[in-house]
């Protein structure tokens, strides 16, 4: 078992060790831009709903069909990963979670690994604040 501070151990997160390791690897790849992730579509190129779980499963050697089943089973079994794979399962439903981009997905993964919850609401609110700040700067530039 690899140790990654400040991430919680797999047992504390309620997941398998391979899932934890794949999440850590995926978060790093999303942050450095070596993996593309498009959560705006229900089915991505990896063939899996949500795509975070699809990337994890495919990297672990699971087939495309198996990856889709793996992701769907997380929701059906009310797995701790369900909230990460399906952002719209959040409590207040105030954000369009499927519009998460790679950096937001990486943030949600790190949140999950450190606290046990992806905090999609916080991730998507930060994205909205950044977009609003960019629009305000754009609007204040003289023509």
What are the boundaries of each domain within the chain?
A: 10-140
Residue 23 · residue 112 · CB < 8 Å: yes
Residue 55 · residue 35 · CB < 8 Å: yes
Q: Report d(CA 8, CA 116) in Å as an integer.
A: 8
> Measured in whole angstroms, how far is the alpha carbon of residue 106 from the centre of its chain?
6
Global confidence as pTM: 0.79
No. of helices (H) and no. of strands (E), the chain:
7, 0
Q: Report d(CA 104, CA 11) in Å as an integer.
A: 25
Q: Which of 21-25, 36-40, 70-74 has the lowest mean pLDDT?
A: 36-40
Both structure tokens of 79: 């797995």
Give 36 or 138, the one with higher predicted confidence: 36
């Amino acid at each position: 078992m690899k140790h990654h501070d400040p991430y919680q151990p797999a047992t504390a997160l309620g997941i398998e060790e391979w899932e934890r390791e794949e999440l850590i690897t995926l978060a790093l790849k999303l942050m450095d831009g070596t993996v593309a992730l498009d959560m705006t579509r229900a089915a991505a190129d990896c063939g899996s709903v949500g795509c975070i779980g699809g990337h994890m499963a495919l990297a672990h050697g699971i087939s495309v069909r198996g990856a889709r089943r793996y992701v769907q089973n997380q929701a059906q079994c009310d797995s701790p990963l369900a909230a990460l794979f399906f952002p719209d399962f959040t409590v207040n439903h105030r954000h369009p979670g499927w519009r998460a981009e790679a950096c937001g997905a990486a943030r949600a993964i790190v949140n999950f690994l450190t606290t046990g919850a992806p905090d999609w609401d916080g991730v998507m609110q930060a994205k909205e604040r950044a977009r609003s700040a960019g629009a305000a700067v754009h609007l204040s530039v003289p023509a």
